[in-house]
Every structure is written in structure tokens, then in C-alpha cells.
Amino acid sequence: MNQRTGYLAPEEESVTLARVTGETGGELVLRRVGAHYEIYSNGLFLMDTRDGTSEREMVRESLEALPKGRSHARVLIGGLGVGFSAREALDHPQVSRVDVVELEPQVIAWHDDELGEAADFVHHDPRCRVYNEDIVAWLAKAAAKPKPARYDVICLDTDNGPDWTVVENNNRLYEAAGLEQLTRLLAPGGVLSFWSANDVESFEKLLRAHFEEVEVVEVTVARGIPDTVYLASKPLSEQPL
């Protein structure tokens, strides 16, 4: 889950809907503020349902970067959050399946209630499968299979960026070994993308060392510096099927 810039308008009433202990031991809080929902961890604002522009843009850009004519695309999304990334993928005509890996069981459970309205209850779509697992562990297991399932698009929206991980163990996703695992799960011609709250030059350099094509997309947000989406394709060392 990511840090998004939120706000509380003076006229909006804030109601705490749930307060639970998360998988990392911290306190997770779901609030409704006016017509929107907010998620906090240990008092730190993580995300809300007010915008979602950059999450949606990450998915759109990834799908548009696929080879022309690609259909029945399989999409893997790291992080359910408020569901905007999964919804964008499910609404795309090229997509036939969306797998989502989410660490927090309570976040998934909240989608059965009011929070689910924000993205039209994505997990109820028969094309969508949500796995309640740690993304690092899930990727390691998936990549270790003799013939792993492959995805046309892999979107990682689990952290605030390569240099600001929500879970310490997630730093593996942004290292060479993590990129190699992700490459093993990427279908030929597939696209790997990462969401970040800011640009990280060292991570871009690492991507360029492992992929032939790397694009950095800046997404303007309502407040603060632009979000950054990294798109990578054509791995320099393809894993055999």
C-alpha cells in the first residue's frame, strides 16, 4: 500500500469504520470522510478513494505497451489497496484475467463492505482472483515452479517506491534478484511496471541494466510532486519456458 496525499475538508465528517491490527503488527484504520474512504497505518495516511489517477495510469500505460493484437491478457497486480489498479485492468477490453496479491486480510475484507463500492467490488468479478499473501514470498514460490504461470502485464503497487517500502522485506522487489524473479513470470512481449511516489534514479539505472526498453512516466497529481511509473519490457536475459 502506498502513501497518497490526502486531505480533510472542514465540512466533511470523519467516521472510523474499522480499527484492526495489521499483518506487520501496526494499527490499520479505515475511515469514511464525506463520500470517500481513507486507510491509515499507525496514524500514517496511506491512501484514499478521491483520485487514483496514477494507479490507473500505471495499468493503462502497461497494457498500451503490449504488442499490437495481444488479447486475453493476464495481469498480475501487487497490492489491492482501494482497488483502482485492479478495476482499471478488469475494465480493459484486452484483459481476460487479473490476479491480485495483497498482504493485509483486513483490506480484502473491507472490500466486502463499503470500501468495495469505490472500485465496484473488483474481487467479485469472476476474472479476478485475490491472494492473501506476502508479495515477496508469493513471487518466490511462483517463480520457483518448473513451468511458472506467465503474465502479460505485472504491476507492482505495494510500496511508496523503491526507496520507501511499506514493509522492509519488500526492498527485494527492487533489487536484481527480484527483477530476475519477475522476469521469469513475464510472458514474451510482456510489460513490468512499478508505482513510485517519486523518481528514483538508482532504480531506473537498475532497470536499464536488465531490460532493453525502459520508460519513465510522470503523472501529475493534485498536490505535491508528480508520481512516477516505471515501465520495463524486453528483458536482456529471457528465462526459458
Catalytic (active-site) positions: 157
- DSSP 8-state symbol, 112: T
Closest residue by Cα to residue 221 from 87, 85, 54: 54
First to last CA, the chain: 32
Using a 10 angstrom Cβ sphere, with 0-12 exposed, 13-18 middle and 19 or more buried, the burial of residue 180 is middle
The CA distances from residue 67 to 71, 94, 188, in Å, are 10, 11, 10
Closest residue by Cα to residue 194 from 26, 54, 44: 54
Phi and psi at residue 107, to the nearest 5°: -65, -40
Q: Which residues pair with 228 in a beta bridge?
A: 196, 218
Axis-axis angle for helices 201-210, 176-184 (nearest 10)? 50
Q: What is the rounded CA–CA span in Å between residue 77 and residue 86?
A: 7
> Which cell numbers in the block locate residue 210?
536488465
